[in-house]
Chain A
Amino acid sequence: MRVKISEVSKMYGITRALNGVDIDLDKDISALSLIGPSGGGKSTLLRILGGLEIPDHGVVCINNKEVNYKSEESLLDHRRRNGYLFQSFNLFPHKTAIENVTLPLELVHGLSSSVAIETANHCLDRFELIEHAHKLPFELSGGQQQRVAIARAIAPGPSLLFLDEPTSALDPEMTGEVLDLIAELKEGGQDIILTTHEMGFAREIADELIFLDEGKILETGEPKLLLSKGVKNSRLEKFLSRVMRY
C-alpha cells in the first residue's frame, strides 16, 4: 500500500484536530499504525483516510489514487471499496449478527441474498461465530460483537481495512481474541491501517508507525527503530515512557 498525505488540516469548531499533516510512504507496506496520545489527531486522520470526514485543506492519495472529498459520490465509492471498524463496534442493534454482514453485501455490493448468506456464513465460520449467527448484538459479548464487526468489514473483500482502536472497549481476554484475529487477517494479505494504544501489538503487526501529537506527525519509522530506547523526539519518549511503564 502507498499512502501520500500533504498539508491536511481539520478544525472542529475552534479546536484544531489536524494541523498540516504531511507524509509520503512510498514503500510496500501492508500494515500502518498510528500511535500517540488521546486527542492527538489519530482518529481524525484515520476518519479522513477512510472517507468518513472531509478535511478543511490538503490532499490524500492512497495507492496513487487521490481521494476526491468534493464529490459525495466518489467518497461513497471510496468507503464501499474499503472496510472500517470502530472502537465501539457500532453493529446495527436491530439486526442479527448474520444480517449485519449480509445487509451491506446485498444493498451495497449487489450480491443476491443466497450468495450474501453464503459469504457471511463463511466469514462467521472463520471467526468462530457461526453458532451466534442468529443472535442480536445485545446477546453477544463485547469480543464477539467486535468479531462480527470485523466480519462485516471484511466480507466484501475490502482493499484496505481501517481499524479505529479496535480493542479499547474490550477487557484483556477479549482484546486477545480480537488482536489474534487482526494478526491473522494481516497474515492472509489484508492491507490494514489502524490506530491503537496496544504498543506491543503495534510493534508486532505494523510495518510502519506514525506518531501523532497535537495534530502533527512528529515521527515515522519502522516499529523496531521507533520504539527502541534512545529515540530522538522528547514527546515520543515521554509518551512511550507513560504507556510502557506498567
Chain B
Amino acid sequence: MKRLISLFISFLIQALPSQAGPDPLVVGMELEYPPFEFVAEDGTNDGVSVKMAEALANYLGRTLEIQNIKFDALITALKSDSIDLIISSMTATEERRKSINFSDPYVTTGLAMMVPIDSPIKGIEDLMSGGLKVVVKLGTTGESFARNKLKNATILTMNQDPACALEVAQKKADVWIYDQLSIFHHHKQHKETTKALLKPIREEQWAIGLRKPKSDEDNSLLIQVNDFLKNFRESGQFEDLSNAYLKEEKELVRSMGIPFIFDVNPDQKVDAIRGNEDGYTGSDPLFIIIILILSLLTIAAFWRLTREGDNSIQANDNILRNSLGFVVLWIVLIGVCFFIFYSINRFYHWNWEGIWNRRWQIFGGWIRTLWISFSALVLCIGVGIGLVIGSRCSFRPLRFFCRAYTEIVRGSPLLVVLLFGYYVIAEAFNINGRIIVGILLLALFAGAYLGEILRGGIDSVGKTQFDSARAVGFSRFQTYRYVIIPQAVRRVLPAVAGLFIMLVKDSSLLSVIGAEEFTKRSDIARAATFTGIEGYLPLAIGYLLITIPLAYCSMRLERKFSYES
C-alpha cells in the first residue's frame, strides 16, 4: 500500500508543470493540408507550417509542441489558452480579427474555384448569376466569401476537403471555392471530372494567429513573432521552403503570371471581406418564450426522471444523513462548475452576440434535428420489425440476408455508413436529397440494433406463452399480436429508449454529408463568429431538450405497460 501511495505521489509530481526551463511553445494546426501541414508517411508532422513553427520555437529559445486541432476549433483552442499560436494557413480576416490578433502576413494567396469538367463557369462574373450550388469548407474564407458575396447561391458547408471535392466531382455542387493550392491539389485527384480555375477571385493573406491579451497581459509575443517572420523572409528561408515543398506549384503559378504565395509585400494590405455587420438585434420575446417553455418542460421531466422510485420516504431513511449528503453534493457541483468557469474566464473573451444573432437559424436546425430524428425513429421501427420477421421466416435466403445485414451494419461505424451510403450507394442510384438519404441511412443503421433488441425481447417471453396462446386457439398472427409482442415490448422498452436517445444524438453525424441540422447550423454560426464555447453550450442544451423528454416518455410508457410488481 505504501508503495502504491509513493508511486502515486511520484506520478503527481511528474504531472505538475516542471519549473525548470521555459514553457514549450504550443502551436495549433490542422494537419490535413499538405504541403503546408500534414502527417508524413512515417507518422511525423511535416510541411511548411511545421518547419516554420520549428524555426520560430528555435528563435524564441523554447521547445515546440504541435497540437493537431480541427480548423474551425483552432480559434476556440487559442482563446481558451490551450495553444499559444495558430500556424495553420489561416487567412487574416477582419471578422477573425474581432476574436484574435494576427501577426504580419507571410503568404498572399487567392480564392480559386473548382468546377465540374463541363461547367460553363469561367470566372467570378459567372458566380453572380444566381441559382448556383456552392460548396465550401466550414469556417474558411471561402465560406465567408460565398455567404457575403453570393447572395443568390445555395451554400453547402462541409467539414472536410475531400468531401467538398467529391461534391463537385459528382456534380452535386456547381462550384467549390477554396484557396488556390488546395484547389490545385484536389483537382489532380479528380482530373477526369473537374476543372480548376486558379485565377484568384479575391486575394487574401495568411498570418500567424495569437490570443488577444487581456488588459493586464503583455503583448511581447506578437512583437517577437513579427521579428521572426521578418528575419525568416530576409534570410531567404521562405524560398527554401517553397523549393522543398511547392516546386511544381511555384513554377505553374509563376508561368501563369500570378505571383507565388510567398511573394508577399508585407506592407500591402489586402482589402478584407466586409462581413454583413451583425448588429446586436436585441431582445426577442417570442424566442425567449419558446426556449423558456421547452426548458421548463425539460426540467420538469428531468426532475421526475431523477426522482423515479424515490418518492416514498422509507422508515430506515436517515433524514439527517441524506440532507447532509445533498448539501455536500451541491457544494461540490457548484464549486466544480465555478472553478471551471473561473479558469476559462481568465483568458476567454466571451462573445454571445454572434450566436444570439443567429438564434433563429440555430433553432431552425434544432427543429430539423427533431424531425430528422423522429422520421428516422419511425422508419427504424419498420426496419427492426422487418429484420425480426425476416430472420424468423422459413425462406432461408431471406433469413441469411437479415442475419448478415444485422451483423455487418451493427459492426460498422455510423460515420462510415453515412459517408459510404451517401457518396457511393446513393450516388450509384442517383438519389440526391441529403436529408432524405441521411434519414434512411440513420434508420437502416439503428434498425439493425433495434432488430436485435426486439429479437432478444421476443425470445425472452418464453415458450410457455407460445404454448398457452396456441392452446386457447390463437393463430400465429394473433399469438404475436396479442400475447408475445405486448410482453416483448414491455421488456425491451428501456433498451429501445436508450437506442432512440442514441439515434437523436447520432443524427448530429448527418453534418458529414452536408445535411444542415442542429449541429451543422451551430457549427456554421460558431465558425462564422469565431466563437467556441458560446456555440457548444447551446448545442449541449439543445440535445438535452430532446433527449430528456424522450427518456421521460419512455419511463411513462414503462409504467403504463408494467404488469409485474
Enumerate chain A interface residues (CB-CB to B < 8 A). Answer: 50, 52, 76, 79-80, 83-84, 86, 88, 90-95, 103-104, 107-109, 136-139, 152-153
Instruction: Given A136-B563, A138-B563, A138-B565, answer yes or no on A76-B468 (Cβ-Cβ < 8 Å).
Output: no
Enumerate chain B interface residues (CB-CB to A < 8 A). Answer: 464-465, 467-475, 478, 482-483, 486-487, 490, 561, 563-565
Instruction: Given A94-B561, A138-B565, answer yes or no on A79-B470 (Cβ-Cβ < 8 Å).
Output: yes
| Beyond known contacts A92-B465, A103-B472, A104-B473: 20 more, CB 8 A cutoff | A50-B471, A52-B467, A76-B475, A79-B471, A79-B473, A80-B473, A84-B472, A86-B468, A86-B471, A90-B464, A90-B467, A90-B468, A93-B563, A94-B563, A103-B482, A107-B478, A136-B563, A136-B564, A153-B471, A153-B472
**Is A84 within 8 A of B471, CB to CB?**
yes
Across the interface, which residues of A come within 8 angstroms of B561, CB to CB? 94
**Is B474 within 8 A of A93, CB to CB?**
no
CA distance A91 to B464 in the complex (A): 9
Across the interface, which residues of A come within 8 angstroms of B487, CB to CB? 92-94
Max count, chain A CB within 10 A of own CB: residue among B473, B474, B475: B473
**Is A88 within 8 A of B464, CB to CB?**
yes
Across the interface, which residues of B come within 8 angstroms of A153, CB to CB? 471-472
**Is B474 within 8 A of A107, CB to CB?**
yes
Q: Which of B465, B482, B564 contacts A90 (CB 8 A)?
A: B465
Across the interface, which residues of A come within 8 angstroms of B563, CB to CB? 93-95, 136-138
CA distance A157 to B483 in the complex (A): 22
Instruction: Given A93-B487, A93-B563, A138-B563, answer yes or no on A86-B464 (Cβ-Cβ < 8 Å).
Output: yes
A92 nearest CB across to chain B (Å): 6
B213 nearest CB across to chain A (Å): 67
Q: Which of B468, B482, B565 contacts A91 (CB 8 A)?
A: B468
**Is A138 within 8 A of B564, CB to CB?**
yes
Across the interface, which residues of A come within 8 angstroms of B470, CB to CB? 52, 79
CA distance A65 to B483 in the complex (A): 31
Across the interface, which residues of A come within 8 angstroms of B478, CB to CB? 107-108
CA distance A79 to B468 in the complex (A): 11
Interface SS of chain B? helix
**Is B464 within 8 A of A104, CB to CB?**
no
CB closest chain-B residue, reference A79: B473
A181 nearest CB across to chain B (Å): 18
B88 nearest CB across to chain A (Å): 60
Q: Which of B467, B474, B565 contacts A104 (CB 8 A)?
A: B474
Across the interface, which residues of B come within 8 angstroms of A107, CB to CB? 474, 478, 482
Across the interface, which residues of A come within 8 angstroms of B464, CB to CB? 86, 88, 90
Across the interface, which residues of B come within 8 angstroms of A84, CB to CB? 471-472
B269 nearest CB across to chain A (Å): 76
**Is B467 within 8 A of A86, CB to CB?**
yes
CA distance A103 to B483 in the complex (A): 10
CB closest chain-B residue, reference A162: B471
- Could you pull out 18 A-B pairs where Cβ atoms are within 8 angstroms? A76-B473, A76-B475, A79-B472, A84-B471, A86-B464, A86-B471, A90-B467, A92-B469, A92-B482, A92-B487, A94-B486, A94-B490, A107-B474, A107-B482, A108-B472, A109-B473, A138-B565, A153-B472
Going nearest first, the 5 A-B pairs with the smallest beta carbon separation are A80-B473, A90-B468, A84-B471, A104-B472, A108-B473
B481 nearest CB across to chain A (Å): 9
Across the interface, which residues of B come within 8 angstroms of A95, CB to CB? 563
CA distance A9 to B467 in the complex (A): 21
CA distance A122 to B563 in the complex (A): 25
Instruction: Given A90-B464, A138-B564, A138-B565, answer yes or no on A108-B474 (Cβ-Cβ < 8 Å).
Output: yes
CA distance A86 to B472 in the complex (A): 11
A85 nearest CB across to chain B (Å): 8
CA distance A94 to B493 in the complex (A): 15
CA distance A103 to B472 in the complex (A): 9
Q: Which of A91, A93, A108, A109 contacts B564 (CB 8 A)?
A: A93
Across the interface, which residues of B come within 8 angstroms of A90, CB to CB? 464-465, 467-468, 471
Instruction: Given A136-B563, A138-B564, A138-B565, answer yes or no on A92-B473 (Cβ-Cβ < 8 Å).
Output: no
CA distance A107 to B471 in the complex (A): 13
Across the interface, which residues of A come within 8 angstroms of B482, CB to CB? 92, 103, 107
CA distance A103 to B471 in the complex (A): 13
Across the interface, which residues of A come within 8 angstroms of B467, CB to CB? 52, 86, 90
B487 nearest CB across to chain A (Å): 6
**Is A92 within 8 A of B471, CB to CB?**
no
Across the interface, which residues of A come within 8 angstroms of B565, CB to CB? 138-139
Across the interface, which residues of B come within 8 angstroms of A108, CB to CB? 472-474, 478
CB closest chain-B residue, reference A78: B473
CA distance A65 to B475 in the complex (A): 22
CA distance A181 to B14 in the complex (A): 81
CB closest chain-A residue, reference B473: A80
Across the interface, which residues of B come within 8 angstroms of A76, CB to CB? 473, 475
